[in-house]
Amino acid sequence: MGLLSTITSPEDVRRLTPAQTEKLAAEIRTFLVENVSRTGGHLGPNLGVVELTIAMHRVYSSPRDTMVFDTGHQSYVHKLLTGRQDFSALRKAGGLSGYPSRAESEHDVVENSHASTALSWADGVAKANVVAGRRDRHVVAVIGDGALTGGMAWEAINNIAADADRRLVIVVNDNGRSYSPTIGGVANHLQTLRTTSGYEAFLEWGKRTLYRTGPPGRFAYGWLHGLKKGLKDVVAPQGMFEDLGLKYVGPVDGHDAEAMEHALRRAKAYGRPVIVHAITEKGRGYTPAMEDVADRFHAVGKIHPETGLPVAPSRFGWTQVFADEIVQIGRRRSDVVAITAAMLHPVGLAPFSQEFPERTFDVGIAEQHAATSAAGMAFAGLHPVVAVYATFLNRAFDQVLMDVALHRAGVTFVLDRAGVTGDDGASHNGMWDMALLRIVPGLRLAAPRDEATLRGALRAAVDVDDAPTVVRYPKGALVEAIDAVEEREGLDVIARHIPGDGAPAGRRVLVVGVGSMAGAALAAGESLAAHGLEVEVVSPTWVLPVPEALVKQVGEHDLVLTLEDGVVDGGVGAMLAQRAGEQGVQTPFVHRGLPVAFLDHASRDQVITAQRMRAEDAVRDALAALSRD
């Protein structure tokens, strides 16, 4: 099994010789490729931080010293070095989380896998250490250059630099990428640091000094003067950090374990806030990942380890539909522009950017800026389409409310991975958006159920120029088309079940399927009809504000069953019941959806089953409610 099998804690890592450390790094890369290819997960980021993480555990003593990983998807190596080497169920129910998890280990601190938060965590822990008199403890935060594009990271740096009496080290893992190449002023500054060669500059200034010094007696003075000037100019690009009051160490080769150890020991000995700038390669040591320009290996499904090709080709999915439709819209509308928060490929904006590069804006991991910048674009006559994962819109709620909605800006937010995503755990389920956005004045939200309704919703959304619009859709492959059997006042009726001739008149049940739950609503409707009930199944594409036609339908039925893949408390079903009640309608409701809780990582089907959101669960609850009435 090699060295890796002997590592049960960081103490084992600190006992290794330099040669053994190099061997361990190679074994870890082999382990990651072999195991993550079987389960799926974040492969590229972890291959890039092997030596860096080993060096951290050799210099610092976790958990006494606190280690914080920004975003957390690069924590697999940390897991291995802290005794967690069973990756057989990675990101599956009962197995290891794909992110740090306090439930797994005392070595894990920050579970939130949203980016740009680690420096604030580190600042808080370091301040607490000072207040509590724990002067011998250190805090180390690892943050990528991509996460440094987030404003929260700079708010933290501003505070860290303001109070230098803390043992805090910021390791900038600089690989030039997040999901895509890192952009912006910070990225440009780091690029300057990366490309400044101290050795070449040293030779150049030394050579010029020798030519100037004249007689040998003046050689030493001239040489030292030239060296001082040369080194000053060489390190000048680090001024941005040192002007803030942060000592800067680097750039360091992040794949040279000894160099990383040396840099970290220097930072540790300094005893004050330090930035250690490590240059790494995402996907290091795995040829398919290193040769991939689209960064497909940031996160992978099951792949063939030899080639990196998927074991099962992915089916045409929701994101591809958006990618195609937004390009078609862009061809018709020159005012439509696209905004992404460092996720051009994952959210499907790459084709739009290729055709309309001047109308595509990657703002980095800065969802708040994306929303407010979009409001400014709308004021200036454009119609921005902001595409983000549903979970990440949480970060920009204030901007949606106060900058977009308050100013009646025509901005469309497209929320990918809405509802249950499962594998990535609590922080990535896109389950909060409908409950949050229902309180935004004037906002209109669509939850399409299939390809046709997604395309239609996008076209309708960009036609709204006096309010924010939102289009949400789930992760994964498309479902079969679910056609309407009737359209009533803009409301899609997707099934109707009426008892046959001679059958006793049944009680009337209205089943409302929101977005991806339309299929479950259809199945529930069939099952209820089998119990002799008259059933109508509807799937409104536009769910916020609640359609008046839907409120009217409530009053025509004896029970309403709602199914949604968002938080059920305060969700669409709850709002429908509220609107009906305001009009004096007393029809009872049964709501099925997600609880107000953080859900452990599991597959979507497992989450749906555990939360009793299957059609059979809904039917059982509906029949019980009818029996009580």
Q: Tens digits of per-residue pLDDT, 194-219?
A: 555 443 444 444 444 444 444 444 44
Residue 238 clears pLDDT 90, i.e. is over it? no
For the residues 343-356, what does the mean pLDDT come to? 94
Catalytic residue among 58, 91, 282, 475: 282
Q: Answer yes or no: 111 catalytic.
A: no
Say what the pLDDT of residue 191 is.
56
Whole-number Å distance between alpha carbons of 140 and 275: 10
Mean pLDDT of 427-439: 91
Cis peptide before 547 (omega within 30 of 0): no
Q: Where are the domains of the chain?
A: 4-290, 318-472, 486-628
What is the share, in percent, of the chain residues with pLDDT greater than 90? Answer: 57
In this structure, CATH architecture of domain 4-290: 3-Layer(aba) Sandwich (3.40)
The CATH architecture of the domain made up of 318-472 is 3-Layer(aba) Sandwich (3.40)
- Give the pLDDT confidence score for residue 375 in this predicted structure: 95
Q: Count CA atoms closer than 13 A to 488's CA, side-chain side.
A: 16
Neighbours of 307 (CB within 10 A): 10
Q: Which residues pair with 274 in a beta bridge?
A: 169, 247
pLDDT for 259 beyond 60: yes
- Cβ 251 vs Cβ 279: under 8 Å: yes
Residue labelled with tokens 């928060």: 341
Lowest mean pLDDT among 262-266, 286-290, 511-515, 559-563: 286-290
**Does 162 score more than 90 pLDDT?**
no
Inform me whether the pLDDT recorded for 314 exceeds 70. no
Strands 542-544 and 444-446: antiparallel
Instruction: Name which CATH class applies to 486-628.
Output: alpha beta
Is 248 marked as binding a ligand? no
> Could you tell me which residues are beta bridge partners of residue 567?
594
Task: Tell me: is residue 146 an annotated ligand-binding position.
Answer: yes
Fold agreement (318-472, 486-628): yes
Report the predicted TM-score, pTM, of the whole model to 2 decimal places. 0.83
Residue range 189-198: mean pLDDT, rounded: 51
What is the predicted pLDDT for the residue at 388? 95
* 20-53 per-position pLDDT tens digit: 999 999 999 999 998 898 888 888 888 989 999 9
The answer to whether residues 510 and 549 touch, using CB atoms and an 8 Å cutoff, is no
Mean pLDDT of the chain: 86
**197 annotated to a ligand binding site:** no
Q: Which of 284, 395, 455, 475 is catalytic?
A: 395
pLDDT at 226 over 50: no
Annotation-wise, does 112 bind a ligand?
no
What average pLDDT score do residues 508-525 get? 96
207 in catalytic set? no
How far is 50 from 17, CA to CA, in rounded Å?
16
Residue 92 bears catalytic tag: no
DSSP-derived secondary structure letter, 177: B
Interval 120-139: pLDDT, tens: 989 999 999 999 999 899 99
Q: What is the reported pLDDT for 41?
A: 84
- Is 175 annotated among the ligand-binding residues? yes
| CA of residue 289 relative to chain centroid, distance | 20
Rounded Cα distance, 297 and 283, in Å? 7
Catalytic one of 367, 451, 534, 536: 367
* Structure tokens belonging to residue 260: 């990383």
Do the beta carbons of residue 42 and residue 298 sit within 8 Å?
yes
**What is the pLDDT at residue 206?**
47
- The pair phi, psi for residue 251, each rounded to 5°, is -65, 150
Cα–Cα distance, 575 to 559 (Å, whole number): 16
